[in-house]
Amino acid sequence: MTKKHVLALSGGVGGAKLAAGLAAVLAPEDLTIIVNTGDDFEHLGLTICPDIDSVTYALAGLNDTVRGWGVKGETWQTMAMLRGLGEADWFNLGDRDMGMHIARSWRLREGETLSQVTARLTCNLGIAHAIVPMSDAPLRTQVGTDEGWLDFQRYFVAEQCRPVATGVRFEGAPGATPSPAFAAALAREDLGAIVICPSNPYLSVDPILSVDGVREALAQRRVPLVAVSPLVGGTSLKGPLAKLLGELGKPVSNASIADHYGDLLDHLVIDAGDAGDEGGLRARGLCVTVTPTVMCGAEDRERLARVALTAARIETG
Ligand code: FO1
């Protein structure tokens, strides 16, 4: 049997870009995209799943590439009305995006699991590849700060990552089991590689690794595990990774990314601007590919996907 199935682990914006690249170069039956749900929260009675939305919109070609999240060509009438009504306006819900949150919340309330809802909505948007929540149980990321523990979206959006971070924890773990499709993908006989997309290891990938049994299952699978580093030129392009690393007392370098994934990691793909990190990474026994990792368009996404797959010894044709 050819072991060619790829399991990709993704957070939001940066991860979603590589996930879209992988979907562009792999057939639907050869790819399962597992998405972080630690950022999810209940807001104004709706269930919001920002990373599932980012991956869904990226694969459907609906994503706003300038803002980095949400739907392109968005309008904001709902927000204006909510504001006028005196309701919370710190988290921006676009008019088109609202359709997603309403549909998801409605179907969940009707008794579907998050996996079932996600499969339904992605399929109805014409996406053939499997976008799978890491768990159907709530596992919520919280950031410890000098102002106390904050729920992820409070830290990220309301506070704009300003408080000094002291730690990260996942409410609901242990106790959250992998979603059925995640468990099935981990057990596939034809699993050929695991690709960790360029998402924040602490805030976006760790929640996935914290789902019951996942870290152990990944360690036991004897297939290449390749991570694409989210650092670019010694910093994070968007998001709080560089600030977070500094506040947690870790160097802002790929050594910290490698340290974080530890024994799980076989191969790290790093940005050309961080070529200076290569020697140190190789000295710890890692395989390294140095390549431009900034993804500005479809061509960049597909090229980086092929680089990651080559590192994972997966043929893309
Ligand atoms: N990010 C922001 O910085 N501000 C927002 O108001 C905001 C709203 C939002 C609504 C729906 C959605 O799916 C994502 C949204 N995001 C927003 C992005 C999100 O907070 C983060 O990108 C992820 O949670 C981190 O991966």
Predicted local confidence at residue 237, as pLDDT: 81
Q: What residue type is 44 in one-letter code?
A: L
In the chain, the largest separation of any two C-alpha atoms, in whole Å, equals 60
Average pLDDT of the residues in 282-299: 97
Spacing, Cα 69 to ligand 1 middle (Å)? 6
217-233 tens-digit pLDDT: 999 988 999 999 999 98
The closest residue, in CA terms, to atom 16 on ligand 1 is 69
Q: Name the residue of 44, 52, 69, 238 whose CB sits within 8 Å of the most ligand 1 atoms, as the mutation to test its pocket.
A: 69
* C-alpha–C-alpha distance, residues 257 and 41, integer Å: 27
Average pLDDT of the residues in 245-255: 95
Predicted local confidence at residue 13, as pLDDT: 87
CB of 15 within 6 A of ligand 1: the answer is no
163-206 tens-digit pLDDT: 999 999 999 999 999 999 999 999 999 999 999 999 999 999 99
Could you tell me how far CA 254 lies from the centroid of its own chain? 18
- Is residue 121 scored above 80 in pLDDT? yes
Residue 285 — pLDDT band, cuts 50, 70, 90? Answer: very high
Contact present, 165 and 202 (Cβ < 8 Å): no
- Is residue 24 scored above 90 in pLDDT? yes
Q: Name the residue of 157, 197, 244 whose CB sits within 8 Å of the most ligand 1 atoms, as the mutation to test its pocket.
A: 157
The ligand 1 atom nearest the CA atom of 49? 13
CB of 166 within 6 A of ligand 1: the answer is no
199-219 tens-digit pLDDT: 999 999 999 999 999 999 999
Residue 236 — pLDDT band, cuts 50, 70, 90? Answer: confident
Residue in the structure block whose two tokens are 């990938």: 205
Distances (CA, A) of 316 to 22, 102, 106, 224, 303: 10, 37, 39, 16, 11
Predicted local confidence at residue 222, as pLDDT: 86
Label residues 262-284 b or e (16+ Cβ within 10 Å = b): eeebbbbbbbebbeebbeebeee
CB of 98 within 6 A of ligand 1: the answer is no
Spacing, Cα 118 to ligand 1 middle (Å)? 18
* C-alpha–C-alpha distance, residues 317 and 314, integer Å: 9
CB of 264 within 6 A of ligand 1: the answer is no
Spacing, Cα 189 to ligand 1 middle (Å)? 36
Contact present, 152 and 39 (Cβ < 8 Å): yes
- Is residue 317 scored above 80 in pLDDT? no
Query: The tokens of 72 are what?
Result: 């392109």
| pTM, 2 dp | 0.98
36-93 tens-digit pLDDT: 999 999 999 999 999 999 999 999 999 999 999 999 999 999 999 999 999 999 999 9
Q: Please state, rounded to an integer, the average pLDDT across all residues of the chain.
A: 97
Predicted local confidence at residue 255, as pLDDT: 96
Distances (CA, A) of 126 to 119, 121, 130: 11, 9, 11
CB of 13 within 6 A of ligand 1: the answer is yes
Spacing, Cα 117 to ligand 1 middle (Å)? 20
Q: What are the phi and psi torsion angles at 295 (to 5°)?
A: -110, 100
- Is residue 266 scored above 80 in pLDDT? yes
Residue in the structure block whose two tokens are 């409605």: 106
Predicted local confidence at residue 238, as pLDDT: 79
Predicted local confidence at residue 1, as pLDDT: 80
Spacing, Cα 283 to ligand 1 middle (Å)? 38
DSSP 204: I
DSSP-derived secondary structure for 109-175: HTT--HHHHHHHHHHHTT--SEEEESBSS--EEEEEETTEEEEHHIIIIISTT-SPEEEEEEET-SS
- Is residue 246 scored above 90 in pLDDT? yes
Cβ neighbour number for residue 258 with a 10 Å cutoff: 22
CB of 63 within 6 A of ligand 1: the answer is no
The ligand 1 atom nearest the CA atom of 93? 10
Cis? peptide before 174, omega within 30° of 0: yes
CB of 178 within 6 A of ligand 1: the answer is no
Contact present, 192 and 5 (Cβ < 8 Å): yes
The closest residue, in CA terms, to atom 4 on ligand 1 is 157
Predicted local confidence at residue 61, as pLDDT: 97
Predicted local confidence at residue 234, as pLDDT: 85
- Is residue 107 scored above 80 in pLDDT? yes
CB of 39 within 6 A of ligand 1: the answer is yes
Q: How far apart are the two ends of the chain, measured CA to CA in Å?
A: 17
CB of 40 within 6 A of ligand 1: the answer is no
Label residues 8-28 b or e (16+ Cβ within 10 Å = b): bbbbbbbbbbbbbbbbbbbee
Q: Residue 10: enclosing H or E segment and its boundaries?
A: strand 5-10
∠ CA(248), CA(252), CA(255), 5° rounding? 100
* C-alpha–C-alpha distance, residues 293 and 300, integer Å: 8
Average pLDDT of the residues in 299-305: 98
* C-alpha–C-alpha distance, residues 190 and 2, integer Å: 6
CATH class of 5-41+130-311: alpha beta
